[in-house]
């Protein structure tokens, strides 16, 4: 009996140990099952409607600032990493030659204005000459009529005198006087005819002179006369060339790589530095083509950057899909038309627009990598066209043109006098 009790007492710990192992295994199985169910539910509810990629990078415009005219670098006002604003001076070139050329062009414009003033005056004088010659012509024609009438009267009087002399009523002296009067009036008529011919020739010359003078200023004014316009265009060109010795920032941004140095001789088009507008950046995410089936323009996107860590989440929207894959845009695209071929899943860049307020609060740098998650709940039947962004423009070059026009008008006004 004591043996049986001792045996029973020794088997009790084994039963307890087996029970604990069974309960532990059941607990582990339940936990695994719950995790699997939770994972399946998360996959079905969340991950199923998400498309992710860590092959994404911040993009932006790298605005290259170039020299627009030749010259020697005199001053550099900014350096790399410095924030600049539109119109802020960046580089100053030596402007002595440009200033001399501008002064010469302004003097030529003033001279052209005065010359054209003389052309208008000559045209007006020639027109007055035509009027004067016309008046002289009318006077000579009146003199011809008077001389002709006097000659005819003298001839009639002579005829009467001859008749009276034949009857002895007048003396020979009276007859001679009558003949003399006819000769004088005839001579006066011939002189009037000659004067009229000279006046006619003079008016022809005056009209030709007026035609030549009028041709120089026909259908024009002093301001738009070809000579003045050509001189003004030269002033405009020289003014712009002088203004371009001061190179300014075309956009707001941060100065990137600077390649210009003091004393450097630069030529038009030489790169000086880059300005990156960090307020206008985007993300290009490269998605596998197998993940693009339900990706549509306008879908919301969340992004995380290693630059700020997971505590900062950026938000954006799918703005568009680039028209070609990275392989198609590479320098040497893959050639699959011959030999053995293995299909390689391609990646298509997707443009993502970011929230400007978030970018202003947490600026991003061009080229930083991003982790992108697209919420594809808003799947549409078909993709729509990307929204066309607003056109880009800079006002920094408009002021130069306006200043040039103001200077040209000032020179013309100072030299036109009372010209038409």
- Closest-CA residue to 370 (of 420, 315, 328, 293): 315
- The kind and range of the H/E element at 257 are strand 253-258
83: its two tokens: 């924030």
Q: What is the pLDDT at residue 198?
A: 74
Q: What is the pLDDT at residue 364?
A: 93
Residue 386 lies in a domain: no
- The kind and range of the H/E element at 266 are strand 265-266
Residue 27 lies in a domain: no
Structural contact between residues 73 and 300, judged by C-beta atoms closer than 8 angstroms: no
Q: Is 259 helix (H, G, I), strand (E, B) or coil?
A: coil
Question: pLDDT tens digit string along 299-310?
Answer: 899 999 999 999
Residues 6+ away with beta carbon under 8 Å from 161: 170, 174, 175, 178
- Closest-CA residue to 372 (of 358, 344, 387, 351): 351
Structural contact between residues 85 and 395, judged by C-beta atoms closer than 8 angstroms: no
Strand 63-66 relative to strand 271-276, pairing: antiparallel
Length of the chain, please? 420
Name the domain count of the chain.
Answer: 1
What range does the domain containing 229 cover? Answer: 98-237
Q: What is the pLDDT at residue 86?
A: 93
Residue 195 lies in a domain: yes
- Closest-CA residue to 109 (of 14, 225, 272, 273): 225
Residue 105 lies in a domain: yes
Residue corresponding to tokens 């680039």 = 322
Residue corresponding to tokens 């030999």 = 339
Structural contact between residues 158 and 178, judged by C-beta atoms closer than 8 angstroms: yes
Measure the CA–CA gap between 50 and 301, rounded to whole angstroms.
Answer: 9
DSSP state, residue 355: P
Rg (CA), the chain: 51
Question: pLDDT tens digit string along 212-255?
Answer: 666 666 677 777 888 888 899 999 999 999 999 999 999 999 99
Measure the CA–CA gap between 287 and 345, rounded to whole angstroms.
Answer: 10
Question: pLDDT tens digit string along 159-188?
Answer: 777 777 676 666 677 767 777 777 777 787
Residues in the chain predicted with pLDDT less than 70, given as ranges, are: 1-15, 38-49, 122, 124, 126-127, 129-130, 136, 165, 167-171, 175, 202, 204-218, 331-332, 334-339, 378-390, 418-420
Q: What is the pLDDT at residue 9?
A: 47
Structural contact between residues 59 and 281, judged by C-beta atoms closer than 8 angstroms: yes
Q: What is the pLDDT at residue 120?
A: 74
What CATH number has the domain bearing residue 105?
1.10.287
Q: Is 141 helix (H, G, I), strand (E, B) or coil?
A: helix
List the 271-276 sheet strands across, edge first: 63-66, 271-276, 253-258, 83-84
Structural contact between residues 364 and 41, judged by C-beta atoms closer than 8 angstroms: no
Q: Is 232 exposed, middle or buried (0-12, 13-18, 19+ CB in 10 A)?
A: buried
Measure the CA–CA gap between 97 and 101, rounded to whole angstroms.
Answer: 6
Task: Give how far Cα 245 sits from Cα of 68, 91, 229, 261, Å.
Answer: 8, 8, 25, 15
Strand 271-276 relative to strand 281-288, pairing: unpaired
Task: Give how far Cα 195 sits from Cα of 135, 138, 182, 191, 316, Å.
Answer: 13, 11, 20, 6, 97
Residue corresponding to tokens 């008016």 = 203
Residue 102 lies in a domain: yes
Measure the CA–CA gap between 318 and 378, rounded to whole angstroms.
Answer: 11
Angle between helices 96-166 and 398-415 (to 10 degrees): 40
Residue 169 lies in a domain: yes
Q: What is the pLDDT at residue 298?
A: 87
Residue 24 lies in a domain: no
Measure the CA–CA gap between 272 and 91, rounded to whole angstroms.
Answer: 9
- Closest-CA residue to 396 (of 79, 99, 89): 89
Structural contact between residues 253 and 276, judged by C-beta atoms closer than 8 angstroms: yes
132: its two tokens: 């004067």
Question: pLDDT tens digit string along 101-113?
Answer: 999 999 999 998 8
Backbone angles phi, psi at 275, to 5 degrees: -120, 125
Residue 280 lies in a domain: no
């Amino acid at each position: 009996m004591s043996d049986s009790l001792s045996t029973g007492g020794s088997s009790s710990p084994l039963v307890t140990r087996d029970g604990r192992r069974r309960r532990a295994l059941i607990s582990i199985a339940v936990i695994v099952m719950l995790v699997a169910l939770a994972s399946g539910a998360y996959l079905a509810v969340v991950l199923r409607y998400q498309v992710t990629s860590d092959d994404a990078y911040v993009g932006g415009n790298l605005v290259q600032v170039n020299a627009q005219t030749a010259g020697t670098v005199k001053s550099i006002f900014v350096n790399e990493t410095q924030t600049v604003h539109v119109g802020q001076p960046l580089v100053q070139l030596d402007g002595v030659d440009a200033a001399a050329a501008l002064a010469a062009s302004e003097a030529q414009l003033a001279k052209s204005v005065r010359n054209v003033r003389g052309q208008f005056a000559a045209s007006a004088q020639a027109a007055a000459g035509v009027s004067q010659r016309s008046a002289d012509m009318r006077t000579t024609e009146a003199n011809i009529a008077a001389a002709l009438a006097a000659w005819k009267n003298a001839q009639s009087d002579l005829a009467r005198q001859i008749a009276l002399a034949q009857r002895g009523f007048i003396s020979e002296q009276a007859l001679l006087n009558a003949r003399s009067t006819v000769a004088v009036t005839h001579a006066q008529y011939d002189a009037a005819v000659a004067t009229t011919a000279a006046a006619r020739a003079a008016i022809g010359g005056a009209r030709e002179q007026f035609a030549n003078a009028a041709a120089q200023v026909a259908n024009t004014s002093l301001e738009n006369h070809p000579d003045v316009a050509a001189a003004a265009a030269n002033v405009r060109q020289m003014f712009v060339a002088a203004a371009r010795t001061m190179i300014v920032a075309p956009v707001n941004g941060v100065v990137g790589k600077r390649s210009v140095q003091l004393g450097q001789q630069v030529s038009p088009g030489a790169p000086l530095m880059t300005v990156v507008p960090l307020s206008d950046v985007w993300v290009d995410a490269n998605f596998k083509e197998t993940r693009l089936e339900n990706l549509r323009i306008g879908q919301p996107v969340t992004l995380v950057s290693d630059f700020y860590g997971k505590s900062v989440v950026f938000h954006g929207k799918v703005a568009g899909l680039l028209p070609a894959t990275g392989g198609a845009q590479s320098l040497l695209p893959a050639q699959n038309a011959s030999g053995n071929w293995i299909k390689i899943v391609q990646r298509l860049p997707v443009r993502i627009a970011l929230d400007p307020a978030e970018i202003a609060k947490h600026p991003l740098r061009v080229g930083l990598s991003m982790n992108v998650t697209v919420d594809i709940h808003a799947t549409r039947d078909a993709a729509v066209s990307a929204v066309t962004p607003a056109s880009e423009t800079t006002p920094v070059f408009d002021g130069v043109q306006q200043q040039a026009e103001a200077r040209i008008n000032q020179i013309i006004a100072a030299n036109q006098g009372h010209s038409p």
